Chain A
Amino acid sequence: MSELIRVDNLRVVASGERGDVEIVKGVSFALEKGEVLALIGESGSGKTTIALALLGYARRGCRLAGGVVQIGEHDMLALSESELQGLRGNRVSYIAQSAAAAFNPAKRLIDQVVEGALIHGLGSRATLEAKAMELFRDLALPNPERIGRRYPHQVSGGQLQRVMAAMALISDPLLVVLDEPTTALDVTTQIDVLRAFKRVVRERGATAVYVSHDLAVVAQMADQIVVLNGGQIFEQSATAPLLKGPAHAYTRSLLAAARPDTTLRPPCGVAQDTLLLTIQGLTAGYGNKDARGMPTIRVLEDIDLTVRRGQAIGVIGESGSGKSTLARVVAGLLTPAVGGLTFDGQPLGGSLSERTDEQFRRIQMVFQNADTALNPMHSISTILGRPLKMYFGLKGAALRERIGELLDLVRLPRDLAERRPGELSGGQKQRVNLARALAAKPDLILCDEVTSALDTVVGAAILELLRDLRQQLGVSYLFISHDISTVRALCDDIVVMYSGYKVQAGARQAFAQAPFHPYTDLLIHSVPEMRQGWLESCGATTCGSLPALGPRADVPGLCTFLERCPVRVDGVCNRTAPPRRIIDGGSEVLCHHDSGELLKTQQDSNSMIVGAYA
């Protein structure tokens, strides 16, 4: 086969206040028909810029300065804007990261899927709609005939992403550009979307460029991988050899950072026996309260949790599981409806006004998004100085010295102190964010997805810092994450949450092998592995058959995982609330099955479990 896509010495220039900066520095690659090429790198590596250049597009302030982008017979850089308009959404199409932002909420899905093809005159509305339904079916969307009549908010995030793929593929394009299409999804959803993408790309022989920061995802999708950093190609080869023996040191660091638990271990002997935080029977939620003081939307149900001094507890779960709400309750931002908190032997007030200054100091929260966690109008020294002034009354030289020490502690240069957050990189901001929490000399730090918004390499460095700080200062963490490998790298104990319930809790080692709670099992096996063929080996269908289930009894505390559980039992799971039991490995689960049953199902049919979520 011949080269369908050829990029030769592509250069993209960004014009800023300080003159022109080259952000893509002479990138070349080629792609044959039916192949999938992955562009991988951290943010700022130019991967999205290159992907957009394939559409002949440069973002505002950027300019395609030179080189060749040949797509089939079209020379994308030589075409006029109107000629490009004719090609985009027709011969080349684009799938963006956030489907939710890419759809118009006021129009039905089907209208948006066929809109582009209609504009390009690729057929009548009826034929295009029929084609769209075919694509919906190929993408394993439920109810393909009718889903198009829904509005974007009426389908889930994973489904929306697949609808967007249908929109991109409806014109049978020469090239599809997928820009981080699964990054915003939960792992359990990601696996289905990936499988659907892979299937349509293979079946339709589409040529695709897949942009991602996640090597494990790319390993499933791509034939060729291009590793980018700072606008340059560091390494370029077929997928198998690259995964086996990366030639470039940067690729090796990417590989290592992707799975922090393979390189990092929580420190030993830091955790003491004294209890620091106890949460008992906690129920909390949002919305107006009813007569019994229960909120309309209950997010946490009957949570028990203890954190010992110096211990790190990891809380994992997908979005909507209530893990961030747990941190907000401990921080005092949300008052619990039922249940109590005890901190170091003293009752901890539910609302901020019931807490003492000392309790404020000893519990510090670090938020996920360092961009919004630091006040953009304050300098770093103001941000770090405020808790020092408040809690310790530091002034003048002592204050400056302590700010310097804090910056040293999080491994930032001291001259950063007078800058504002806007002038810092993402990783630097997250370090300042941590330093602010450390300034209070806290006993407990609540970390809410602190590495999720960062690049893998930067995130791994933050994890390492967190581990070292724990070793050094003996501080406890309540570490919230959606990524089990991150939690494994840092935490002694792990708690798995699912729609407000604690479904499994146990030591880190217990999460290394079965038995698990069925949901934990799904979660663990949905994390892409760094090998080719993993996606195929972990289950052939997306519509796995779940055991049939009768109507649900109106019993409080019924298992919430029921709808997705591959090992549910009719007459038991839908009739009675599951008990808490201890299984082999020492962890506590909320399930009707005992240890032996769980072990059996989890060894038997991995495929069924993974395919269970359609």
Chain B
Amino acid sequence: MTRATRCTLALALATTTALAAGTLARAQTPARYGLGRPATPDEIRARDIDVMPDGRGLPQGRGTVAEGAAVYAAKCASCHGANGEGASAERLVGRNDGDSFAFATNPKLVRTVGSYWPYASTLFDYTQRAMPFQRPGTLTPNETYGLVAYLLFQNGIVKEDAVMDQATLPKVVMPAHGKFVVDDRKGGRTVK
């Protein structure tokens, strides 16, 4: 049925109902409009690429620090620097003295995965969805696990023999974890 025909039919039905009830015709708001079609599990899988802090969404696979170092050198170093020190793209590696979190007042602090990112899951999620910048979305799960292992090692968060997979990645506790607070601004007279 064409769009025009269906709309006309719906209008006719609504008008008839309203007249029968002897009331003014008013737009009805049904619980559902019956539009759209069910999404199949395959269709959902094809788009559902996100990874949550508790590990939900992590794919099968694994990667080591050494494997990640090789991937990093081949696909990341040209923009982020040979050791994650930053180049045309942002710095990824580095910690601040005492893991200082005085970012609001001290412009000398380095903002990196190791110093500012609160969840390791974010590193997996973002790398897999948006990197490498010129060929986004082309890394395999194993490559991404390896890159996460390598960058966490470079930031002094995991040991050199670390392996990242569905079980180990959600257990990583980032130095910035617990530093974040939920927005408490609510308008009114106080500037926050």
Q: Do A and B bind each other?
A: no
Mark A residues whose CB is within 8 Å of B: none
B interface vs A, CB < 8 Å?
Answer: none
